[in-house]
């Protein structure tokens, strides 16, 4: 790293904007796991959620503020006293906290969403920042849909909120509309025409609707932005957000060009990426930049020849720099605790002795079913052990039979109150039959929206991960499980959904 490079803050919004993506909702314990991984990664700011959205969101933000140390913990609010007070209460336990207020400024939002004149927008934005400053010295303001806002009016809003006390001003490309050079000119315009611009940090928040979120964010950095808002794996509404791992490695790899650096521990990018993928059920595309399986793979003969001569011929980054090990080590049932612990560490995961003991037991059980265990198998065990939900129902036994015309399943479940119930059902296939048997036992009948299967490693005996998405009483739920038997994986994933629904109902009743 060059000592004179400017530092760019990394503002992670995986828990807020990222979670808004369809199917990416997280439970409170899952949000806490992600927040702790982000803290380990070295992000500067964690936007933990939108406390006014629901009591559950408030509690999640409060939990992160209470239990996660290191980064600034941030909460989002509209420019209303009620929203801002809720954020302030949720963030109170955090030693370092920020209130992030926003208000749309573009003509299309003013006319069709807010029905507010320009003067009202400025007055409301200033009022929101001033209220936030009553509770917190670190206040960020975002003019929503800034990239489609008239430049002169945007400059007026920015100047007004800085005068009101905003310490960070974020310029969002809310609908992914802008293009790199145009966006850079917007930042240059603000720096030239906002008289008090030096009193606030300029931030950038881009969506990926046209596939340019990272490029637009980088051009904003070139034009003076010193905070980038992004998410792990680029998850987010519609086509997603600026990808954290891509922005970080672009700034690191081309530091001499950008003359900027971050404080991210890049070796922890891959484990963080896998964690978020596992929790949200959003698989990482094989060709995903930085963290995809193919990111450091070379199949072309010309490329392989060059790589054998010198890695830099076709690699601009080392896999180790992002936490991706290239070890050919394969574990099996005769591998001991030390070998497993070493492999987990090499894969970038840090688990305590209690979690390791659980992983080792499951490792031995899996090794009895598989001849060889690959990195994907080990990752699945670690991620499962870290996040196991202790639901009211557990699977005691499962047997299925299927033919061309019909299938049957017999499922036995044990409830934590001691009941053990067995039911048999038939269906279009063994998975359908097992789901119906579980519904019969529990009395919960969700609407199945999507069912996915994918292999976690290689070989005929690879673990199959099943991901189940359902709707129940106007809420979406997701469950996942991985075993060497795809019917068992599907059954356990569906049971996880049932457990989440039952726990949610108990929480609401309380």
Domain finish residue from 219, 251, 280: 280
pLDDT above 90 (res 381): no
- What is the per-residue pLDDT across 7-32, written as a single tens digit (0 to 9) for each? 999 999 999 999 887 767 788 889 99
Region 56-79: mean pLDDT is 97
Stretch (H or E) spanning 366: helix 353-369
Query: What does the pLDDT read at residue 214?
Result: 98
d(CA 135, CA 213): 32
pLDDT above 80 (res 380): no
- In this structure, are 230 and 349 located in the same domain? no
- In this structure, are 240 and 341 located in the same domain? no
Other CB atoms within a 10 A radius of the CB of residue 342 amount to: 15
Can you tell me whether residue 418 is helix, strand or coil?
A: coil
Has residue 164 been placed in a domain?
A: yes
Dihedral pair phi/psi, residue 170, rounded to 5°: -100, 135
Has residue 42 been placed in a domain?
A: yes
Q: How confident is the model at residue 323 (pLDDT cuts 50, 70, 90)?
A: confident
Least confident of 165-174, 236-245, 440-449, 471-480: 471-480
d(CA 407, CA 405): 7
Q: What are the residues whose beta carbons fall under 8 Å from the beta carbon of 9, sequence distance 6 or more?
A: 44, 45, 201, 203, 226, 227, 228, 262
- What is the per-residue pLDDT across 217-232, written as a single tens digit (0 to 9) for each? 999 999 999 999 999 9
- What is the per-residue pLDDT across 428-476, written as a single tens digit (0 to 9) for each? 999 999 999 999 999 999 999 989 898 877 766 678 888 898 999 988 8
- In this structure, are 157 and 219 located in the same domain? yes
d(CA 382, CA 137): 40
Has residue 253 been placed in a domain?
A: yes
- In this structure, are 345 and 454 located in the same domain? no
Q: How confident is the model at residue 315 (pLDDT cuts 50, 70, 90)?
A: low
Query: What does the pLDDT read at residue 227?
Result: 98
- In this structure, are 342 and 448 located in the same domain? no
Range of the domain at 336: 327-387
Query: What does the pLDDT read at residue 299?
Result: 43
Residue among 167, 284, 262 at smallest CA distance from 217: 262
Region 357-383: mean pLDDT is 80
d(CA 31, CA 34): 5
- In this structure, are 124 and 161 located in the same domain? yes
Has residue 358 been placed in a domain?
A: yes
Stretch (H or E) spanning 99: strand 97-104
Q: How confident is the model at residue 1 (pLDDT cuts 50, 70, 90)?
A: very low
Token digits of residue 225: 């932005």
Stretch (H or E) spanning 469: strand 464-472
Q: How confident is the model at residue 354 (pLDDT cuts 50, 70, 90)?
A: confident
| Number of separate domains in the chain | 4
Has residue 274 been placed in a domain?
A: yes
Domain finish residue from 371, 387, 403: 387
- In this structure, are 411 and 367 located in the same domain? no
Give the max Cα distance, the chain.
75
- In this structure, are 55 and 161 located in the same domain? yes
Has residue 88 been placed in a domain?
A: yes
- Mean pLDDT across the chain, nearest whole number? 89
> Do the beta carbons of residue 61 and residue 48 sit within 8 Å?
yes
More confident residue, 4 or 70: 70
Query: What does the pLDDT read at residue 330?
Result: 64
- In this structure, are 190 and 103 located in the same domain? yes
Region 180-197: mean pLDDT is 98
């Amino acid at each position: 790293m060059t000592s004179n490079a400017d530092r760019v803050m990394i503002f992670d919004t995986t828990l807020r904007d990222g979670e808004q993506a369809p199917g990416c909702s997280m439970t409170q314990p899952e949000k806490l796991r992600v927040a702790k991984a982000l803290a380990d990664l070295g992000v500067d700011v964690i936007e933990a959620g939108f406390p006014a959205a629901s009591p559950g969101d408030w509690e999640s933000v409060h939990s992160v503020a209470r239990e996660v140390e290191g980064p600034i913990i941030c909460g989002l609010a509209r420019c209303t006293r009620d929203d801002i007070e809720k954020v302030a209460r949720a963030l109170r336990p955090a030693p370092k906290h920020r209130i992030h207020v926003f208000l749309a400024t573009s003509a299309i939002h003013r006319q069709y969403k807010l029905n507010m004149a320009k003067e009202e927008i400025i007055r409301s934005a200033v009022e929101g920042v001033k209220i936030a400053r009553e509770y917190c010295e670190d206040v960020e303001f975002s003019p929503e849909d800034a990239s489609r806002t008239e430049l002169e009016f945007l400059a007026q809003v920015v100047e007004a909120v800085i005068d009101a006390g905003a310490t960070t001003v974020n310029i969002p490309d809310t609908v992914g509309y802008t293009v790199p050079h145009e966006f850079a000119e917007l930042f240059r315009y603000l720096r030239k025409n906002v008289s008090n611009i030096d009193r606030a940090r300029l931030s950038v928040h881009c969506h990926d609707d046209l596939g340019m979120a990272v490029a637009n964010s980088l051009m904003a950095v070139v034009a003076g932005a010193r905070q980038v808002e992004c998410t792990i794996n680029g998850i987010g509404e519609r086509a997603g957000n600026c990808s954290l791992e891509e922005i970080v490695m672009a700034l690191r790899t081309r530091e001499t060009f950008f003359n900027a650096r971050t404080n991210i521990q890049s070796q922890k990018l891959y484990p963080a990426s896998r964690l978020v993928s596992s929790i949200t059920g959003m698989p990482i595309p094989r060709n995903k930049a930085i963290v995809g399986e193919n990111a450091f793979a070379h199949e072309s003969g010309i490329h392989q020849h060059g790589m054998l001569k010198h890695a830099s011929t076709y690699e601009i980054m080392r896999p180790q720099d992002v936490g991706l090990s290239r070890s050919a080590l394969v574990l099996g049932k005769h591998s001991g605790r030390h070998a497993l612990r070493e492999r987990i560490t090499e894969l970038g995961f840090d688990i305590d002795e209690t979690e390791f003991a659980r992983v080792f037991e499951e490792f031995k059980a899996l090794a009895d079913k598989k001849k060889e265990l690959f990195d994907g198998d080990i990752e699945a065990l670690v991620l499962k052990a870290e996040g196991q939900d202790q639901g009211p129902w557990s699977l005691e036994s499962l047997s299925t039979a299927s033919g061309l015309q019909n299938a049957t399943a017999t499922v036995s479940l044990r409830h934590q109150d001691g009941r053990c119930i067995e039911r048999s059902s038939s269906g279009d296939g063994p998975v359908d039959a097992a789901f119906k048997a579980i519904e019969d036992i529990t009395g919960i009948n969700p609407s199945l929206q999507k069912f996915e299967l994918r292999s976690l490693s290689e070989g005929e005996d690879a673990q199959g991960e099943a991901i189940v998405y359902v709707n129940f009483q106007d809420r979406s739920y997701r469950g996942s499980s991985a075993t060497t038997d795809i019917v068992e994986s599907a059954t356990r994933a569906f049971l996880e959904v049932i457990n989440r629904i039952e726990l949610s109902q108990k929480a609401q009743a309380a």
